[in-house]
Amino acid sequence: MKNAYRERWKKKDIIFLITALTLPIIQFILFYIIVNANSIALAFQKTTDGTHFTFNGLKNFSTVFDQIFHDESMQIMLGNTFKLYFASQIVMLFISLFLAYAFWKKVFAYKFFSAILFLPSIISNVVFVMIFRHLFTYLLPNLLNDQSIVESLNAYTQGFELTTLFYCFLSSGSMLLLLMGAMGGVDQSVVEYGRLDGCNVWQEFAHIVFPHIWPTLISLFMIGIASLFSNQGLLVTFYGETTEPMVKTIGSHIYITVWSENGSLQYPELSALGLFLSTVIIVSSLLIKRLLEKIGPKEE
């Protein structure tokens, strides 16, 4: 009797699992496997009208390599991509790390500053971009009686640097939130023991907090590397389809090209570029992750 009862519930569990997992599995197949399979296939094809595609071998990859090593615009975009990554992921990670520690220590007015930094995570980035553009286009020039400020967002002056700085501010909230969450898991008894043992603030950070949040830092590094070549840095929001190569990143270049009227004609080359860059990202991510896990501090 007991065995029959268990068998019946076992069958019901299996039916429930199949029912619950069917929709996610179908979505995964349709929107990930099929879409990416088509993108990979496009890298080996060519088109003349954007609708009919024929096999093209490795010629698209040859074109991509030629652009990377000889096309000045592509080299500028690659340079901008790495600059954006360094500013928004490396520099901001260190800044967010110390801000998170200060907030965790409950410095003066930490709640106010936390709210300011978390605002971009609540309000749409488009709203902040509109405010920022209005500030540099109308408010500051009229307030300071200096119309040259309008040129600050020009692609050929300080446009890229200014938009990168603004993007760093907008993207810091989520990074800060993750770091504060990781610090929240630090055992307070260990912190108290450290204080009794004579640890100052920096020793507490270096020997107690930092080793505890190291896995989170590795995850943030990996997230940054994974989005290295797809990050647009709000450039499309600032400049739209007319973004100049001087301020473009690889991510904004791909997006704008696909968005353009004749974008379908360049699908094969863009797919080859995406496949090549994805391979670079996968290999570098695995190597960097392994390196960080080896050299990182250990909790004792």
> Residue 181: is its pLDDT beyond 80?
yes
Lowest-confidence segment of 146-150, 181-185, 188-192, 296-300 by average pLDDT: 296-300
CB 211 within 8 A of CB 38: no
Distance between CA atoms of residues 85 and 79, nearest Å = 10
pLDDT top residue among 95 and 299? 95
User: Nearest-CA neighbor of 274 among 230, 243, 242?
Assistant: 230
Q: Give residue 299's pLDDT band: very low, low, confident or very high (50, 70, 90).
A: low
> Residue 2: is its pLDDT beyond 70?
no
Query: Helix, strand, coil: what percent of the chain each, to 5?
Result: 80, 0, 20
Q: What is the pLDDT of residue 175?
A: 86
Lowest-confidence segment of 12-16, 35-39, 86-90, 175-179 by average pLDDT: 12-16
> Residue 95: is its pLDDT beyond 80?
yes
> Residue 55: is its pLDDT beyond 70?
yes
Question: Mean per-residue pLDDT for 128-140?
Answer: 84
Q: What is the pLDDT of residue 85?
A: 92
Question: Mean per-residue pLDDT for 221-235?
Answer: 87
Paired tokens of 276: 């090549």
Q: Give residue 36's pLDDT band: very low, low, confident or very high (50, 70, 90).
A: confident
Q: Is 300 helix (H, G, I), strand (E, B) or coil?
A: coil
Q: What percent of the chain has pLDDT over 90?
A: 9
User: Nearest-CA neighbor of 238 among 131, 124, 83, 133?
Assistant: 133
Residues 6+ apart with CB under 8 A from 97: 179, 217
Q: What is the mean pLDDT of the chain?
A: 83
Q: What is the pLDDT of residue 169?
A: 84
> Residue 57: is its pLDDT beyond 80?
yes
Distance between CA atoms of residues 120 and 166, nearest Å = 11
Q: Give residue 142's pLDDT band: very low, low, confident or very high (50, 70, 90).
A: confident
Paired tokens of 277: 């860059």
> Residue 82: is its pLDDT beyond 90?
yes
pLDDT top residue among 262 and 135? 135
Distance between CA atoms of residues 250 and 83, nearest Å = 12
Q: Give residue 3's pLDDT band: very low, low, confident or very high (50, 70, 90).
A: low
Tell me, which fold does domain 71-295 have in CATH? MetI-like fold (1.10.3720)
Size of the chain in residues: 300
**Angle, helix 250-259 to helix 72-85, in steps of 10 degrees:** 120
Question: Mean per-residue pLDDT for 183-210?
Answer: 82
